[in-house]
Amino acid sequence: MRQEIRLEQKLILTPQLLLNLKLLALPILDLETVIEQELATNPCLEIEEEKSIEEIPQEELKTEKEDEFSLEDLLPGEGYSFFRDSEEVDILDVANPAPVTSVEELLTKLRQKIDKEDYPIAEFVCNSLDENGFLEFSIEEIAQTLGVKEERIERIIEIMKKIEPGGIGSRTLKEALLAQLELKGFDKESIEVRMLKECEELVKAKNFKKIAAKLKTNEARIKEAFNNLANLEPRPLRKYGSQKADYVVPDFKIKIEGEKVSVEFNEENLPRLRIANYYKEILLNPKNYEKEQVEFVRKKYKNAVMFIKALEERKEILRKIVEYIIENQKDFFLISREIIKPLSIKECGEKLGIHPSNVSRAIAGKYLETPFGIFSLRSFFSSGVGEVSKATIKAKIKALIDNEDKSNPLTDDEIVKKLKEIGINIKRRTVAKYRQELNIPKTSERKNK
Q: Give φ, ψ of 336 to 5 degrees.
A: -155, 145
| CB proximity list for 228: less than 8 A, separation 6 or greater | 186, 192
Burial of 251 (0-12, 13-18, 19+ CB in 10 A): buried
Give one DSSP letter per residue of 329-351, joined into a string: -HHHHHT-TT------HHHHHHH
Closest Cα partner for 343 from 395, 391, 393?
391
Q: Is the dihedral of CA 139, 346, 85, 310 positive or negative?
A: negative
Mean pLDDT across the chain: 79
pLDDT score, position 432 = 87
Q: What is the pLDDT along the chain (449 residues), one digit of tens a residue?
A: 445 444 333 334 467 777 887 888 888 888 888 899 889 888 888 888 765 445 545 554 444 444 443 433 343 333 333 333 333 333 333 334 445 567 778 888 998 999 988 888 888 888 778 778 888 777 887 887 778 888 999 999 999 999 999 999 998 888 999 999 999 999 999 999 999 989 888 888 888 899 899 999 999 999 998 899 988 998 898 888 654 545 678 888 988 888 888 888 888 888 889 888 888 888 888 888 888 888 888 888 888 888 999 999 999 999 999 999 998 888 888 877 667 777 878 788 888 988 777 888 888 888 888 888 888 888 787 554 445 667 678 888 988 998 888 888 999 999 999 888 877 878 888 888 888 878 888 888 888 75
Q: Where are the alpha helices (DSSP H) in 252-340?
A: 277-284, 291-328, 330-334
What pTM, to 2 d.p., does this model score? 0.59
Dihedral angle over CA of 396, 402, 405, 410, nearest 10? 40
- CA pair distance 343, 328, nearest whole angstrom: 8
Q: How many residues does the structure list for the chain?
A: 449
Structural contact between residues 405 and 391, judged by C-beta atoms closer than 8 angstroms = no
Closest Cα partner for 275 from 38, 28, 18?
38
pLDDT score, position 79 = 34
pLDDT score, position 241 = 67
Structural contact between residues 84 and 102, judged by C-beta atoms closer than 8 angstroms = no
Bridge-based pairing state of the strands 252-257 and 367-370 = parallel
- Amino acid identity of residue 267, one-letter, is E
- Amino acid identity of residue 384, one-letter, is G
- CA pair distance 281, 49, nearest whole angstrom: 20
Closest Cα partner for 25 from 117, 118, 129?
129
Structural contact between residues 74 and 283, judged by C-beta atoms closer than 8 angstroms = yes
For 96-134, the pLDDT digits (tens) are: 444 556 777 888 899 899 998 888 888 888 877 877 888
Peptide bond between residue 165 and the one before it cis (omega within 30 degrees of 0)? yes
For 11-54, the pLDDT digits (tens) are: 344 677 778 878 888 888 888 888 998 898 888 888 887 654 45
For residue 376, list its beta bridge partners: 367
- CA pair distance 146, 308, nearest whole angstrom: 31
Closest Cα partner for 388 from 422, 361, 411?
422
- CA pair distance 237, 131, nearest whole angstrom: 7
- CA pair distance 412, 268, nearest whole angstrom: 43
SS3 content of the chain, % helix, strand, coil (to 5): 55, 5, 40
For 44-73, the pLDDT digits (tens) are: 888 887 654 455 455 544 444 444 434 333
- Amino acid identity of residue 206, one-letter, is K
Closest Cα partner for 143 from 318, 344, 342, 317?
344
Name the helix (H) or strand (E) containing 374: strand 373-376
For residue 263, list its beta bridge partners: 254
- CA pair distance 400, 395, nearest whole angstrom: 9
Q: Give φ, ψ of 355 to 5 degrees.
A: -65, 140
Structural contact between residues 381 and 145, judged by C-beta atoms closer than 8 angstroms = no
CA distances from 395 to 59, 375, 402 (A): 56, 12, 10
pLDDT score, position 182 = 93
Dihedral angle over CA of 281, 303, 321, 129, nearest 10? -160
Structural contact between residues 402 and 440, judged by C-beta atoms closer than 8 angstroms = no
